[in-house]
Amino acid sequence: MEMIRWDEERDGPLSEAAMRAKLEEWGYVVSRYVYPPGTVFPPHTHAVDKIDAVLSGRFRLTLPEGSVVLEAGEMVRIPRGVVHSAEVVGDEPVVSLDAVRRR
């Protein structure tokens, strides 16, 4: 599981615009989502490579390698075809940037 953390020294203050720009620079198309507390995504796959990035809240991702709880400024690469699940942790909504690799 490849986890990426926002680096304020290198990337500047964390903001939606800055994180979106970084993901787009890496070759991804970015969509913004807000998931309310209690949201659960059962095991599934995607036909594309993607990155799940969190701007606020806590989001648990479970992949074959294990689970990780993402918080503000943290991202995980999810390769196409990898079975994974996700859920909002706690009482705060998750604001997420969903980045899909351009073909």
Report domain extents, the chain.
Answer: 2-101
CA–CA separation, 51 vs 25, rounded Å?
A: 13
CA-CA distance, 18 to 8, in Å (whole number)?
A: 11
Q: What is the pLDDT along the chain (103 residues), one digit of tens a residue?
A: 789 999 999 999 999 999 999 999 999 999 999 999 999 999 999 999 999 999 999 999 999 999 999 999 999 999 999 999 999 999 999 999 999 998 7
Burial grade of 86 (CB within 10 A; 0-12, 13-18, 19 or more): buried
CA distances, 47 to each of 7, 11, 82 (Å): 29, 30, 9
Q: CATH second-level architecture of 2-101?
A: Sandwich (2.60)
Which pLDDT score is estimated for 1?
79
Instruction: Say if residues 20 and 33 touch (Cβ distance below 8 Å).
Output: no
